[in-house]
Amino acid sequence: MSHNEISVSHPDTIQKILLAPLHNNNWYEIHALPDYRFQSSMSMTDPRKKAGKSKYIAGAYNVSNILRSEDYIDQTFELFIRWLDKYAEDVRPMDVNRYISFATFDVIGEVIFLTSFGFLQQGRDIGNAISNSLALNAYVALAGYFRWIKAAIREGLCKDLVVS
């Protein structure tokens, strides 16, 4: 736990906290990438503004939309199982975590964009998208609490971007 945080375990309290329109901690502001001008529903701390921004992507998570994607999701997991079988037949070690990431991203692509990203189809990290997201996750986890990291990176990057 950090400053300005609480810990609860009673189910009624958890529900009240999650359903209440509370302001998020400023840790979430780190999700405004590359800087404060690019606000997303993840970076907003004001619950009203967050709700307004979230409505644009809420449909993707609607149960009926997910059910419509169920066949494609099943196909994605069938492809994942084929990779498991291939590695088992070849008696080779498999980076299962990598293929689970491929499957996860492909399912997200199906549900939100109505098409798979193709990671499982190709069996590789296309354009290093997954590797980049893992690095971004590490950055967000640290820079959200240690603001100086974001400032140091920004200053370093800005110096490199100056055209003389």
Name the residue type at position 52: G
Q: Distance between CA 10 and CA 103 in Å, rounded?
A: 35
Return per-residue pLDDT of the chain as tens, 164 residues.
666 677 888 888 888 888 888 888 777 887 777 777 788 888 888 888 888 888 887 777 778 877 888 899 999 999 999 999 999 999 999 999 999 999 999 998 988 888 899 999 999 999 999 988 888 888 888 877 777 777 777 676 555 544 44
Closest CA to 144 of 30, 37, 11: 30
Cβ count within 10 A of residue 116:
21
Terminal Cα-to-Cα distance of the chain (whole angstroms):
46
* pLDDT in the model for residue 162: 47
What is the gyration radius of the CA atoms in the chain, in angstroms? 20
Name the residue type at position 143: A
* pLDDT in the model for residue 156: 66
* pLDDT in the model for residue 105: 94
Cβ count within 10 A of residue 69:
18
